[in-house]
Structure 1
Amino acid sequence: MKMLKIKSFIVATLFIFSLSLQAQNTLKDWQAFSENNEPVSLAEQTYKEKTCVKLDGKKEAIVINKAKNYQNFRIEFDVASQVMAGVGFHVKNEQNYQFLYFRPGYGGTQEAIQYIPIYNGGLSWVLYHYPIYEAKTDIKSLEWFHATIEVRNKILKVFVNHKKEADLTLTLLDTDTESGNILLRSMFGDSYFANVYIQEIPKTITDWSISEQLPRDKSYDYSDVKKMKTWTKINDKRDEMVNLKRYFEYPNGTVFTKKTVSSDADKPHLLYFDFTGKLQIFLNGKEVFNYAKYKLDRLDNYENCIVLDFKKGENELVFIIEGDAFVFGKGFNSMGRFQHQNWGFVASLVEKNR
């Protein structure tokens, strides 16, 4: 069993970009365009002691990375802007994407940060506004500040100057694309971008097949899973936690969950996960994890990580999971009945970089 305890936000597929012209091997994936959508070249420069690139909103309006599509990601950068600078993501083309931008001239007001969807080129800022789509933060025109934008399972979070609490949190509006390229954009004046880093966040697995509920006062192994004839498919995309209590009227047992994962070759993957109670994990019939938590902790998407050696073709991933009832002895009293209060898990899967 290969297991790694994750103590901080570590993503297996760390993808780092530099907007420095000294790093041609990474800059080659970025292309700049004018406001007339004409390809242009960017020149590296220094602004207030930071090496950066400048977008003036006209001759150099956007810079886009077309090498990779992102669904869930975290981007960090330093920015100094005269009027308006931001990040476009889930980019389908130059006329359709999601857009998060900053107005440094309105720092300290509810218009400092704004999110809008760009449909067919429309900058619909009057349609999406405070208190949901705009937020306050302390930024100033043409002064450097640090921005972090995180998108995970339709949730957008924006952090300014390394705050622990997000300045803006919202649920993204539905568009016709769930993933796409990333671009940087300036409008109505100069913007400077430096130290741009993008991390891909593994997609949370929400589509599973679950068994009927079984008694929790016995041990189970993979042979019991193979005997199960009835399976129910679940896929609650809006909830990254697989909350098993929602599927059973009296949640107090053990459940098997399974998922088939296809691999185009023999290759290792990383499974990030956390859970309540007791959990066994099997890959293609072999046990790869077995642990019981004897206390209650808040779940963390990246608390645990194991390496799964996938074979070419279809691979069967199975969880056998019990909730927290055993922590309380016979269960926690829920209005006259003893049961699980917390019963579920969260899991993400990503190909391992060799």
Structure 2
Amino acid sequence: MSGQEFSFAHQELWEVTGKSHVFERFEGKESLSPFQSQVRLKNFEFFTGILEYDIYITPDRGFPGIDFRIQDAVNYEEFYVRPHQSGNPDANQYTPIFNGFAGWQLYYGQGFAQAVEYKMNAWSHIKLVIAERAAEVYINDMSTPLYYIPELKRVPKSGGLGFSGSGPSAFRIADLKVTKQSNPVLKSKAIAVEPLEKGVISSWSVSTTFEEATLEKPVDLSADMKKGLKWNKVDAESRGYANLARVAIANGQNNTVFAKVTIESDKDQIKKLSYGFSDRVRVYLNDQLLVGGHDEFTSRDYRFLGTMGYYDDVYLRLKKGDNELWMAVSENFGGWGIMGRFDNIDGIKIK
């Protein structure tokens, strides 16, 4: 099936919102140069098939990418490049967008990004082959996938198509071509999504959002602090993290949620919990504040990305019966998440 081409010479096809943009002919191509803007192809939907476009890459820091299966302004799938990271493992990124939050601090490494050397100050060609639940990424070499995305994280659903780019630099895109296919062929060998490890907290109850300032004073939880909260369930994904942005909607200063589980213990005992979070956390057991932490971008040094893993431990003094573990998780940007794993689950049940 031949693809459909969309030229930036036809400005009427596009809706652009944001800081600024320029339609122009550049280096032999009709292009669009958006700066901190969202670009949407009008009256068009895409589900599965092939997306191809050209992007003019410079060494400047930025995050220009393509958005697909757009449900609204804050919910879609995204692939973008990081030109300033050329040759590094995070030279590009696949991430879902949930309620306006990207998740690159959760979704990193194999299946989400891959090292590649970019041609600087030149046009590069990018192709995405999008199946219902998986995808492949090609950059310049159209014969071999740069990498395979085994699991697109959002629920598969047809949606809009466009481009976006944050960061301090403008970028140029040209020559969008879309080939709709119901069953596009992926060259990569399918990779099964790994099951959760034993001892991982598989599901969290997540509260509605509230102001982080509510918890600034180091005090235990009170009935007033819990009053009026509503709850949703979020399941842990294959690596153990729960993406809180799936259900949490930040609004102004309301950038914090509680994520909680009940731990049933058959006796009084101490259990080690390894956990990860993004961006900040306060840990409470049976309403008592145990520990807090910061893990946001550059919080530890200028190279620190804030990626999430089982990097912290806390020892929980459990009483016989039910114990309430509450984690207050606050977010700036890059990924709103929580994860927890018990090394030894003998004598306890997580519910």
- TM (norm. structure 2) is 0.48
Q: Which has the greater radius of gyration?
A: 1
